[in-house]
Structure formats: C-alpha cells, structure tokens
Amino acid sequence: MVGFLGFGDVADNVGNFVLRDFKYSAGFGFRYLLNPQEKINVRLDFGFCNESFGVYIAVSEAF
C-alpha cells in the first residue's frame, strides 16, 4: 500500500503564486508485481481533493 500527497497551482509568472490559492490532493493506492523479471507493476490508486475524487488503474509506476 502506498500514500501520496500533492499540491500546486498555475500562474503566468512566479510572482503570481500565492500559497492560499494552491490546490491540494491526497490519496492511497495498491501495487501488484505482475512480472518480477521485468519489474512491471499494476497499480490501483484512489485520489481525493475538495471538489472531486478519482480512481486510476495503470500498468507501471507514476514516477
């Protein structure tokens, strides 16, 4: 089981970044080693923020 936390914002220049405007999200996920020789994982992640949530299924790691 893994946990993750993210935050960020978009601005037209660095001077316009304001911490109180940053968007935050968090979540957790599960990994299954599908092929040990090739080190291929299947992942199932659940992410949450104030406005919504998401469920993600993928083969490989996010990073």
For the chain, where are the E strands, in sequence order? Answer: 2-8, 23-35, 40-48, 53-59
- Give the tens place of pLDDT for each residue, 48-58: 998 899 999 99
Domain that holds residue 20: 2-59
- Give the tens place of pLDDT for each residue, 7-46: 999 989 988 888 888 999 999 999 999 999 988 999 999 9
- Amino acid 43: pLDDT: 95
Q: Which of 36, 37, 57 is nearest to 45 (CA)?
A: 57
| Rounded CA separation 22/45 (Å) | 22
| Rounded CA separation 14/53 (Å) | 28
Please give the model's pTM, rounded to 2 decimal places: 0.73
| Number of structural domains the chain divides into | 1
| Residue 61 DSSP one-character state | -
Q: Token digits for 63?
A: 């990073």
